[in-house]
Amino acid sequence: MTEKTARRDTARSSAKRGPALAASRQAMTQLAELTGRTPDSVSALEPTDDGWRFRVEIVELERIPQTTSVLASYEVDADPDGNVVSYRRLQRYTRNGTEGPRQ
């Protein structure tokens, strides 16, 4: 596979998941500004009538060892472009917790 073909395949793949990916990137950037913490991962994503709903995991307290770090699960509602409309912390948990975030 040539480099040009690989770039074209990547562009096609991004176009298929484009709206969700672009919206999640925008929402995560805004959430980082609002909370002062960098989102660790997006653990859920669903379209809504008004845009998108995300579940995001954020490290709230880094500890050594990392398995004892405290994370929080946030629910984020965003418009179709990924602009945050609302967010709330659902729960906090330790990284090594066997329960993890509730679904």
Does position 5 have pLDDT exceeding 60, yes or no?
no
> What percentage of the chain has pLDDT greater than the value 90?
66
Sole residue written with tokens 């991004």: 14
40-89 residue pLDDT tens: 999 999 999 999 999 999 999 998 888 889 999 999 999 999 999 999 99
Enter the pTM of the model. Answer: 0.74
Q: Which DSSP string corresponds to 6-49?
A: HHHHHHHHHHHTHHHHHHHHHHHHHHHHHHSS-EEEEEEEEEET
pLDDT: which is higher, 18 or 25:
25
